[in-house]
Chain A
Amino acid sequence: MFKIVVCVKAVPDPKEACNIKIDPATKTLMRCDVPMVLNPLDKYALEAALQFKAEFDAHISVLSMGPPEAGNIVKECLALGADRGFLLSDRAFAGADAFATAYTLAKGIEKNGPYDVVFCGMASSDGSTEWVGPEIATFLKIPVVTRIKEIVEYNGQWWTVKAELENGYRLVRVQIPAVFTVTRELNTPRRLSFSGIIKARKKEITRWGIQELGVPEESVGLKGSPSMVSTIASMDSRRKVEILEGKREEKAEQLVQRLVNAGVI
């Protein structure tokens, strides 16, 4: 059977991300109870897998690395139609940069067995590096196409896809197994259904730690990360802020006047 792996990430809800601040003393994130959600772009990656499954006989594994709470987003993917869910979770995985994250996910993919394609979101809303997909591909020693917006041909061992480019696209022919990172243009993700949620209740999430993956401690998490945060500075605005007062009409009038005076309209 055709095997698809989808890599997903739990991220702080992007709509409330402005409430997250960095504690300058400890250099850690103060999350202030911002809820963790499925990374928006990963929904498109899962949808790509689900659409393929609707057409062919396929099995979808969803893989995430994160804290135990990230199990919720794996569960959400199961409710959306994925067949199996994996959460790579271990204290040793904490503090990973994109490199160590990709390494850990690649080890999880290998442990899960043979695969034909791997779908990832193009980037996460919190890190927004776009590195994890290509780095997973490198660790798995398979090709990658990033930013795909259309799958033109997907029959057999060679797929043809359109990859987004500045003002255009690249038409790419690639031999599977391969990694694809997807953009929002690829599809329209389905919404959770009640029956999906009921079905997902019966599905178990497999949790793997460092023991199960059999990887050395120095290659995962903070220890396995080549890059690290050295300092945090606050950004001070150089602008003198003027809040315009008065009734709505007056504010609009004042604003137009100021912009005219500044010579910008």
Chain B
Amino acid sequence: MGKSRGPVWVIAEQIDCRILEVSFQLIGHGRKLAAALDTTVEAILLGHKMEEHPRQLFAAGGDRVYLGNDPELAVYQPEIYTEIIEKLAKERQPEIILVGSTAMGRELAPLIAARLDTGLTAHCIDLVIDGNKVLESRIPAYGGLLSIICPDRRPQMATIATGVFPNPEPDESRTGEIIPIEVPKKIPRRIQTLEVVREEPEGMDLESATIVVAGGAGAGDPAGWRKIAGLAEVLNAALGATRPAVDEGWAALETMIGQSGKMVSPELYIGVGLSGELQHMVGISGAKIMVAINNDAKSPVFEQVDYGIVDDYREFVPVFIEKIKEYQGKLKTC
């Protein structure tokens, strides 16, 4: 018999005392990983006035919660959070640490990984345990699906976006152990989050939209981008973008769909002037019906959708809009 493996950890995240969905999703999937490794699932929860919240993490599948409950932890404080998790990880030796691909997670995860001298895989779309009991983190890249491993160092770390794994069915009868953690007294305190300001999101929410129109590099210029935005408007759709479109400055970072952006699963997805790069396509793999409009018949996007239109989008989109309006007009009259 080998020695027993360390637990699977999830760094839970809360905003205004509400635990984010991704934290539950990671605990849910963490259970599967833990079963394959014959170990437990544990969550780290840092915040203030969070006494009652560990219950939710147990219901999602957690066995143990390390709870830091202190006014100093109310909002994300990089130095303190890193210090607490580093110390705890060195003590408890987790086998795996999963972190949500949120703004906080994307900063905190590399801080922890570097402190623990270990590897960290970004924005995974699947996590499995292989035959050697090693974590395989799957990421799409360059037309293939890569499995990244961290064979020799522990913990194995990965970040995962909201929506990659399903919400676990809560089991209110599950219970677990709460271990309180203290705020360390000796930390440098060279950095402080003074305030967290939330603004009303602009435009339609991509994650809850039933129709998503996305544009890519093929949009060509801001005028072209507005044409694509016009299609979204007619369909009452949320407007998304690929990374090159964000790079060009046509679209905001928050509208980026894909592995390092948002994961969406609308009823209808229409991709305009984009090439079907996997980094983008994994973000919409949950769509019911997918359409692509691209003037290059050889574009890889035409291998990944339900309906393809080979045409110059600048010419096609206005005609398409007219036909949609015609249909919408008919709906109103009858």
Contact = CB atoms under 8 A, between A and B. Distances in A.
Interface of A: 14-15, 17-18, 20-22, 24, 29, 40, 97-99, 102, 123, 125, 127-131, 133-135, 137-139, 142-147, 160, 163-175, 178, 183-185, 225-235, 237, 239-244, 248-249, 251-253, 255-256, 258-260, 262-265
B247 A40 contact: yes
Contact of A226 (B115, B152, B310, B323): B152
A237 B300 CA distance: 11
Interface in B56-84: 75-76, 78-79
A185 B136 CA distance: 35
A212 B324 CA distance: 64
Contacts of B200: 167
B194 interface: yes
A20 B247 contact: no
Contacts, number: 259
Nearest to B269: A264
Q: Mostly helix, strand, loop or mixed at chain B's interface?
A: mixed
Contact of B309 (A22, A228, A237, A244): A244
A149 to B, nearest CB: 9
A166 B103 contact: yes
Interface of B: 75-76, 78-79, 102-104, 106-107, 109-111, 113-115, 117-123, 130, 136, 140-153, 190-201, 210-211, 217, 235, 243-244, 246-247, 249, 253-254, 259-260, 267-268, 275-279, 288-291, 297, 300, 302-311, 315-316, 319-320, 322-324, 326-327
Contacts of B319: 248-249, 252
B303 A227 contact: no
Given A144-B78, A170-B196, A17 B277 contact: yes
Given A160-B194, A170-B195, A172-B192, A242 B122 contact: no
A244 B307 contact: yes
A228 B191 contact: no
A131 B143 contact: no
B303 A21 contact: no
Contact of B244 (A15, A240, A256): A15
A230 B191 contact: no
A127 B315 CA distance: 35
A55 B36 CA distance: 58
A235 B145 contact: yes
Given A15-B217, A143-B191, A184-B249, A233 B147 contact: yes
B277 A229 contact: no
Contacts of B305: 239, 241
B250 to A, nearest CB: 11
30 contacts: A17-B142, A22-B141, A22-B146, A99-B113, A125-B247, A128-B122, A129-B120, A131-B122, A134-B111, A164-B253, A166-B254, A167-B199, A172-B192, A227-B121, A227-B148, A227-B149, A229-B147, A232-B146, A233-B145, A242-B306, A242-B308, A244-B308, A249-B323, A251-B311, A252-B316, A252-B320, A259-B268, A264-B268, A265-B268, A265-B324
B183 to A, nearest CB: 18
Contacts of A135: 110-111, 113-114
B107 A235 contact: no
Contact of A170 (B76, B275, B326): B76
Given A130-B107, A170-B195, 15 more contacts: A22-B143, A127-B122, A130-B122, A135-B110, A135-B111, A145-B191, A165-B103, A165-B198, A168-B198, A172-B193, A178-B191, A227-B150, A231-B146, A243-B297, A265-B324
A21 B122 contact: no
B253 A255 contact: no
Contact of B243 (A14, A134, A139, A244): A14
Contacts of B130: 230
B192 A18 contact: no
Contact of A168 (B136, B196, B267, B327): B196
B278 A235 contact: yes
A169 B141 CA distance: 30
A231 B147 contact: yes
B191 A262 contact: no
A258 B119 contact: no
Which one of B153, B253, B268 has the highest number of Cβ atoms from chain A below 10 Å of its Cβ?
Answer: B253
